[in-house]
Structure 1
Amino acid sequence: MRCTLCGGPQVHKSKGYGVISGRSRNRQRVAMGQGPHQCRRVAAQRARRVLRCAGLMALGLWPIMAQAAQPDVAEHQHPHPHAHGRHNAGAHTAHHAGPPAAVEARSSTSVQVNAHRYDYMFQPAQHEPDATTHLTAELLRNRDITTLRGLEHVAPNLTMQSINGTASTNFYLRGSGFNDFTQNNMPTVLTYVDDVAYPYAAMTDGMMFDLASASVTPGPVGTEHGQSTTGGEVHLRTADPTDTWHFGASQDIASYARSRSEAYVSGPLAKGLDFRLAGQTRQGGGWQRDPENGDHLGDADLWALRGKLRWRPDDKTTIQLGGHFVQDNSEVVTPQAVHRIIGSTPLPDYGMGTDAQWSSNSTFDKLIGRRDGLKPSEHNQYWGADVHIVHDFGPVTFTSVSAFETERRGEYTDQDGTARQEADTYRTIDGNVFTQEARLNGSALGGRLNWVVGGYYQRSQMNQRFFFNYTDYAARGYMMSTSFGQNQQSVSEFGHVSYRLPHNVTIWAGLLHELDDRSITGLTSQIFGGATHNFHAESTASNQFAGQVGVSWQFVPNAMLYYKMSKGFKPGGFTANNTQVQAQLDPFHPETVLTYELGFKSDPIPNRLRINGAAFYNDYHNQQVVGTVLIPDYGPLSEITNAPKSESWGFEATLEANPISRLHIMQNIGWQRGDFQNFPNVDRTATNAYYAKHGTWNAIERNFAGVDNGSPKLTLNGEAMWRQPLGKGYRLDFGPDWQYRGSQAIVVGGTGYQRLPSYFLLGAHVTFRPPSGKWEATLYARNILDKRYAESGGMATTTYFYVPGEPRFIGGRVSCGF
């Protein structure tokens, strides 16, 4: 029999948990009522909703809640409570059996009366046993997060840094990560965009627009989808097509003539066929200048388009085609030299301000095929296409994700941070990646048993060429190039199963097997006007397992505990830049880690207070680390190597609170420590000191056992928001935000100038919202105290350098959506 109120089947008195008869895309678990018919509760809930909505209208908040229900809001994009936004709607995962039925019934009908659009979102994720940080699109906009690097401002224990001021990015999550300047190796933290894995993070340049949500998941991961990683993953979810017409645009103008523009249109083309087209442009914003000649550096010049076409031939099948194109000709931030390793030429002292020096050599410009007077800049082009297929067979759901991504890059950097040509570099990359994932998800036993099995394949091809200008470095005095090709493919099979026991206890286990094979070919090192060296090919293969076991306990409806043990692994690879001897091409070994994690999630006062936290311990074997190799009669060079034994430990926590109705506070805290237990390597500092004293190169070896891993020990970020009604439905939202990052070493065992100083940044914004919710206007300030700080750093041939962070930016943004 069907209920006349809700149209669903009548559910009669019973005990325990059950599943509504009949089948929908997501099988909805409900708690069996004690009355004769479950819809009595539904009717009462609807009545409460009507009263609450009336209250919201009276407060002038209804437009805000109405906008929160639009299709581009994160929770609407991911109605299923699993997978941290990684899978399409309708796809079950086996990560967890979900919240107990009674809990799910309560959470699914709660209305956040005093909540803003991104307050206490992702409620189903509160019942997932992980330490994932979930981020809404509005939070990212308010915090001015427009690139991957900005995510460190809104997640704990996360450091994301530019490589030499460029669009290339390095990740450090819970202290796991390394500096891969050549970007030809799999990163420790993998980036996904709409379920598509990007094995080279630079391919995501220009992709952070028209977002629905983002998430950061500490590793190890990989037993439910994609590839195994030791550090974790970052997932970006872009807005999907809608079956009703929507369009919108935004314009952001700020200091230093910076301009950002975005627009989208979405709607139906025919019955069951919807589309979405979105684009962005970025211009200006360059804040560095050369005090010697007044030249200007750092202007953005980027545009990007993304399109999606979704076809629903029936109520069980979804096929979505996607594509994107990015052109980035932006200038980059140039480093500032902070210490001279070799030579006696004085260094400029600009104190991490807006002054900087860079150089250009007409002979070098001609050699690389670029115009005279080239500034440090990008000349990059990315494009890709993907196909998502989801079909609900009833007992199981099938998901297929196919993607092809390309990159064509030309990148010029002045790494020595001076007007001399001592370490000027230009590199070109021509690469492509094909990935294919297929998985089956299912559940049984009334939703108590959940499982997923699948496979993943990846193939990549890459050609790189590095040009180096050493003409002002007396020990070399020449220009040279290194070129190579790299082929890689991997295949993995994974499975994950979870089972909910009585008393709201859930156990789960997962297993992944991955085979990775990669080779480096045709490596040539050429000194122009001198010798050319050809090196023979090298290859490396890994064949390993990863896995996870855990238990969680939902001991009260609004709080849970979990414990898990995870093993992750990451393939080996090659250090390929500036190769001088064959031994530099010896591959480094795969990295493995065994992680123990204990965590909790709680909403002790629903819609008023949320506290989540986790503690972890990582036991690494062959951790991949940037070390040092000494080339006789040449000097020390960086290379990726393995630390046989290392460890890290720490915790992170997130607090959201509404101490009073109009004030919302959010605070992330991350703390971690780690050290090497066994790591023999060249001591670069001692080796450089020996050269300075004796004039000859001699490798000083050292075991770095007991030395700190160099990652920031403490990271903090958060915001406070005051929401002031102005009458007739208008409202003003305003408040500060902040970020702190502790000191970070840029070389193993680094001290003094070999460490990036800690820093604290303060920002603020005020947003005016009309009752219609169709537009809003924002004024904001970033680094409002105009703090001078180093965002990242490194070493070049003759200097250590810091990459300065942005100065104060004051701007405004107007956006509308219909």
Structure 2
Amino acid sequence: MARTAFSRALVVALAITTSTTALAQETTARPADEGAGDGDIVVTAQRREQSLLDVPLAVTALGGDALAERGITNSAQLGEAVPNLQINSPYGDTQPNFSLRGIGVANEYNSNQASPVGVYLDDVYLAPRTSHGMGLFDLDRIEVLRGPQGTLFGRNTTGGAINFITKKPDLSGGDGYLQVGYANYNTFTAQGAAEVTLAEDVAGLRIAGNYANGDGKIKNIFPGGRDANSVDTLQGRASLRLKPTETLDIVLRAYGGRDRGTQAAVHGLLPFRTGLKFFEINENSIGENRTDAWGFSANVGLELSDQLSLTSITSYDGGGQHLQQASDGSPLDVLNITWRSRYRQFSQELRGNYDGEGFNLVAGLFYGYDSNVTDNTFNLPLPPDGGFFQHYRQERRSKAVFAQADIDLTDQLVLTLGARYTNDKSRYEDAFAYLFVGTLGGPQTPIATTVPCPGVAGTCAYDPNARFAIRDTNNALTGRVALSYTLDSGTLLYASYNRGYRAGAVNGGGYTSSSGIYYIEPERVNAYEVGMKGKAFDRRLTYALSGFYYDYSNQQLQDTRPGPVSFLVNAPSSEVYGIELETTLRAAEGFRIDASLGWLHSKYKELSLQGTDLSGNRLPFAPKLTAQFGFQWDVVPVADGVVTFSPNVAYSSQQYFSPFNDLNAAGTPQDNAELQQGANAKVNMSLSWSNDRFTLRAFADNLFNRKTYGYGLDLRGAGFPYNFLVPATPRTYGISARMNF
């Protein structure tokens, strides 16, 4: 029945596309290199440069200018520009959770879990989710690949992949820019870049930086209390490019950054929400989100011949988080958590590209290592005051061999075959947790070991030498099969099968007992997709359409129970299907329309939590309908420049934050119906004046101040007298000035 409904919907969409040719788009990123075609967009979604319209994948490409037009300055805002992409977090812009086509970390909030949407910086996989909450500055483009990418990108891409691609030196001349801005909430911003050619066509250096500082956007009425959701960000990046010969190209990159804003606002205990405005809280101990990220990488490209090239990408990255989170949204100390982790990762990829007559091959080897050392403190209203302390170390190693070939069966028909074999090993070790007495921020006195301890918290005597360790190994074969056909008009039609895989995981939230700490099964997705993309109306219209069906097994979910006890479990079986449409229409000189639409059906075919059958429920963070519409209108030339008006609206239908949807587990005080956000539309707009050197811009985001929640978590089921809800950002507005040089 589901497949029939999907097929009918797809046929209707194809019919509409054929008749109107105006339904889908790939957002302009940057002009293609020579040979890609006039006005085309070049992407590396298949690990080689191609025109976006030649890639048989659902890809959205956003260039740096397009990001600025939409007012997108942080990765947490990307959902406003990409269909079927949701971004949420219990920590504000810190540690964002990406959900593509309904596949994400769901209600999981622990830092040791890998995102099922792989995040990359210049083709380097970023394992820690804390590092995903990055400011966006001096980017060449962002590529969002929807659907499993288990062949060329690898593990933990069951939902898709997002690749942030920074600008690199051009090796000719010099340029740069400086941009400063001021917005409400006393927010100052500055970013810029400068590039210098050290030796023409041989060596160049580019340095970029980003700064933002502002007051909290959510008012705290508690006397003397800090406002929530403040901004305090500083980031920098340096790229050195060396090209000693025509065949050798080396890019060395180093980056570093830190965030020190206050925690996300929390609506918690009901009595302390009463009488407040939506963007207000009453909290006595607003914490601070302290995060750091840094890294180094070397990308070495060597052309062995006109047909064969090698690429080596080596990286070493690190960082940490120290989040102090008052989780009750009240002047009482009901639940205060200190999340503290530090990360290290190393990766090496060696890839070969062969471009022959009627045959293209990408093949390579990958090795990745990452570690996470966590020390969390949970302060609870226990008699006497106290809580739990938790420590563990997690190490993961991944090895893979992969290959993908494009074979020209005819001049217009291409067969794609790809496979990847992955070996993942994970160790959870040096783990211990204990129950303590002590006040918030004061000394702790351990009174009972809880990890390792198989029973109820407090039943095992404190043992300072007790440790717990487990390990796991996964092997997976993933791959891709696709057929693509190019019509005489240039329109690309494609059909594909992709298999995605996310490695098994251990419960990072197990601190009250070791009985809940074990590895669960890997996630797997069998994805079927058809699509078309092309240009029409004398190349003024760019469109794309895709339809997909997922057979999704073993989604990894957090199940929180009274105690409070957290378990990581698998949802045995789910199905997801939908349609995505994107279009860019250059309707007239100086007038461009961008629009996209995502329709999504998601359902648990088999799931039971806390003795409650949730089969038939929708997946969390999976609204049925998302849409974006905007235009860029060059209104009038003024003083050797042009005034441009750029409004856009982003719509999302209702979405749930919990697999329970509206249901409550029998015998519990749950109120899961509260854990959702209704349909809403947010309007952003900007008015700018610009010429080749200067840009002055005024903007307003969430213009009509829509009151929405971005995240919700069931804490009633864990024994607390409230749910945890995080309000999204209120209206912001400001001005900026940019100078190019």
Identify the match of residue 315 of structure 2 among 397, 400, 403: 403
Deviation string, structure 1 residues 92-141 (Cα, Å, up to 9, x no partner): 47xxxx6xxxxxxxxxxxxxxxxxxxxxxxxx211211110111111111
Alpha-carbon distance in 2 for matches of 1:511, 1:84: 24
Query: Partner residue of 2:254?
Result: 323
Identify the match of residue 493 of structure 2 among 561, 569, 579: 561
CA contact (8 A) 1:488 1:518 kept: yes
> Radius of gyration: which is bigger?
1
Alpha-carbon distance in 2 for matches of 1:667, 1:350: 39
CA contact (8 A) 1:225 1:494 kept: no
Deviation string, structure 1 residues 659-690 (Cα, Å, up to 9, x no partner): 343432111111111111111221xxxxxxxx
Alpha-carbon distance in 2 for matches of 1:174, 1:652: 10
* Residue 102 of structure 2 corresponds to residue 172 of structure 1: no
Query: Partner residue of 1:577?
Result: 509
* Residue 339 of structure 2 corresponds to residue 427 of structure 1: yes
* Residue 217 of structure 2 corresponds to residue 287 of structure 1: yes
Counterpart residue type for residue 64 of structure 2: A
Query: Partner residue of 1:303?
Result: 234
CA contact (8 A) 1:423 1:798 kept: no
Query: Partner residue of 2:194?
Result: 265
The count of corresponding residues between Structure 1 and Structure 2 is 668
Identify the match of residue 372 of structure 2 among 453, 457, 462: 462
Provide the aligned C-alpha RMSD in A: 2.3
CA contact (8 A) 2:76 2:133 kept: no
Alpha-carbon distance in 2 for matches of 1:194, 1:558: 30
* Residue 317 of structure 2 corresponds to residue 388 of structure 1: no
Counterpart residue type for residue 233 of structure 2: L
Query: Partner residue of 2:569?
Result: 641
Query: Partner residue of 1:806?
Result: 729
Structure with higher strand content:
2
CA contact (8 A) 2:108 2:557 kept: no
- Quickly say closer, same or farther: Cα 1:241–1:226, change in 2 above 3 A: farther
- Quickly say closer, same or farther: Cα 1:152–1:606, change in 2 above 3 A: farther
Alpha-carbon distance in 2 for matches of 1:724, 1:403: 46
Deviation string, structure 1 residues 174-220 (Cα, Å, up to 9, x no partner): 00012331121221101111111101232144442111111111121
- Quickly say closer, same or farther: Cα 1:639–1:171, change in 2 above 3 A: farther
Query: Partner residue of 2:63?
Result: 136
* Residue 538 of structure 2 corresponds to residue 626 of structure 1: no
Q: How does 1:403-802 map to 2 (within 5 A)?
A: 403-445=315-357, 448-471=358-381, 477-529=385-437, 530-535=447-452, 536-628=468-560, 630=561, 634-635=563-564, 637-682=565-610, 701-710=611-620, 711-726=622-637, 729-751=640-662, 752-770=673-691, 773-796=692-715, 797-802=720-725
- Quickly say closer, same or farther: Cα 1:382–1:569, change in 2 above 3 A: same
Alpha-carbon distance in 2 for matches of 1:78, 1:462: 44
TM-aligned CA deviation for residue 151 of structure 1? 0.5
Identify the match of residue 207 of structure 2 among 265, 277, 290: 277
CA contact (8 A) 1:258 1:286 kept: no
Counterpart residue type for residue 191 of structure 1: V
TM-aligned CA deviation for residue 294 of structure 1? 5.8
Q: Aligned with 2:66: secondary structure? A: helix
- Quickly say closer, same or farther: Cα 1:744–1:674, change in 2 above 3 A: same
Q: Aligned with 1:151: secondary structure? A: helix
CA contact (8 A) 2:242 2:249 kept: yes
Deviation string, structure 1 residues 609-646 (Cα, Å, up to 9, x no partner): 22211010000122222334x46xx24x4433111111
Alpha-carbon distance in 2 for matches of 1:79, 1:642: 48
Gaps of 5+ in 1: 1-68, 99-123, 341-345, 361-374, 683-700
- Quickly say closer, same or farther: Cα 1:177–1:83, change in 2 above 3 A: farther
- Normalising by structure 1, we get a TM-score of 0.78
Deviation string, structure 1 residues 370-419 (Cα, Å, up to 9, x no partner): xxxxx321222211100010000013110000001101221111122222
- Quickly say closer, same or farther: Cα 1:200–1:455, change in 2 above 3 A: same
Counterpart residue type for residue 548 of structure 2: F
Query: Partner residue of 1:10?
Result: none
Alpha-carbon distance in 2 for matches of 1:789, 1:409: 27
Counterpart residue type for residue 355 of structure 1: E
Query: Partner residue of 2:19?
Result: none
Alpha-carbon distance in 1 for matches of 2:532, 2:121: 28
Counterpart residue type for residue 679 of structure 2: S
Q: Which runs of 4+ in 1 moved over 6 A?
A: 77-84
Alpha-carbon distance in 2 for matches of 1:663, 1:552: 32
Alpha-carbon distance in 2 for matches of 1:618, 1:451: 27
Q: Aligned with 2:330: secondary structure? A: coil
* Residue 163 of structure 2 corresponds to residue 246 of structure 1: no
- Quickly say closer, same or farther: Cα 1:77–1:443, change in 2 above 3 A: closer
CA contact (8 A) 1:225 1:454 kept: no
Counterpart residue type for residue 474 of structure 2: S
Q: Aligned with 2:281: secondary structure? A: coil
- Normalising by structure 2, we get a TM-score of 0.86
CA contact (8 A) 2:559 2:568 kept: yes
Counterpart residue type for residue 78 of structure 2: L
Alpha-carbon distance in 2 for matches of 1:477, 1:77: 64
Taking only the aligned residue pairs, the percentage that are identical comes to 22
Query: Partner residue of 2:21?
Result: none
CA contact (8 A) 2:586 2:593 kept: yes
Alpha-carbon distance in 2 for matches of 1:207, 1:250: 14
Q: Aligned with 2:542: secondary structure? A: strand
Query: Partner residue of 2:25?
Result: none
Structure with higher helix content:
1
Q: Aligned with 2:352: secondary structure? A: strand
CA contact (8 A) 1:164 1:335 kept: no
CA contact (8 A) 2:30 2:41 kept: no
